[in-house]
């Protein structure tokens, strides 16, 4: 049961970090009047940190889930392995999307506003939407895994193993 509690705390911290950054850093950064290129460049460092932390948190949550797994039901394995989808989202963001956006910024002289060709802007738009989607997916996965554990693990601890 101790590993379950650690997994729950880890999932909560992971999900809270992602939601908090979106609410208290990303949104306000574009509301305070600094140029959007400067805000984006500043926030990019935070996204890289969140991706790295998400890789660790999701992997560790999966290991903790496997270490404390009860039974072999497919739904139980799905619950335990769910954070790996968040790991995949962070990995795609960290190793592909973020570097591609950074390369576009560099090619434009440090900011997307410097992109003058339609192809570059179209590529940025696609990458930015993909980045947002991956961030949302990682957030939803972390919080879904947390909710699933909070609902499921107390039942398992009391012997009611209808849902695992």
Distance of CA 18 to the CA centre of its chain: 6
Is 70 a domain residue?
yes
- Tallying the residues shown for the chain, one arrives at 164
Is 163 a domain residue?
no
pLDDT digits (tens, 9 = 90+) for 75-124: 678 888 999 999 999 999 999 999 999 999 888 887 887 888 898 899 99
Q: What range defines the domain where residue 131 resides?
A: 2-157
Number of domains in the chain: 1
Give burial (CB, 10 Å; 0-12/13-18/19+) of 102. Answer: middle
Q: Which residue has the tokens 């990019």?
A: 44
Is 162 a domain residue?
no
Is 164 a domain residue?
no
Is 103 a domain residue?
yes
Give the number of other CB atoms < 10 A from CB of residue 141.
Answer: 25
Q: Does position 28 have pLDDT exceeding 70, yes or no?
A: yes
Is 11 a domain residue?
yes
Biggest distance spanned by C-alpha atoms of the chain: 63
In angstroms, the CA 133 to CA 126 distance is 10
pLDDT digits (tens, 9 = 90+) for 46-85: 999 999 999 999 999 999 988 887 656 666 788 889 999 9
Is 40 a domain residue?
yes
Q: Does position 138 have pLDDT exceeding 90, yes or no?
A: yes
């Amino acid at each position: 049961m101790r590993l379950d509690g650690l997994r729950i705390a880890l999932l909560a911290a992971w999900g809270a970090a992602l939601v908090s950054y979106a609410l208290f850093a990303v949104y306000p950064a574009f509301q305070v009047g600094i140029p959007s290129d400067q805000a984006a460049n500043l926030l990019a460092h935070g996204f890289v940190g969140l991706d790295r932390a998400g890789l660790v948190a999701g992997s560790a949550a999966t290991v903790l889930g496997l270490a404390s797994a009860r039974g072999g039901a497919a739904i139980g394995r799905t619950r335990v392995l769910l954070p790996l989808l968040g790991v995949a989202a962070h990995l795609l963001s960290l190793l592909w999307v973020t570097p591609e956006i950074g390369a576009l910024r560099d090619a434009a002289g440090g900011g997307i506003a410097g992109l003058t060709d339609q192809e570059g802007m179209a590529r940025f738009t696609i990458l930015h939407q993909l980045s947002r989607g991956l961030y949302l997916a990682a957030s939803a996965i972390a919080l879904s895994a947390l909710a699933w554990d909070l609902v499921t693990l107390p039942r398992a601890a009391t012997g009611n193993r209808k849902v695992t």
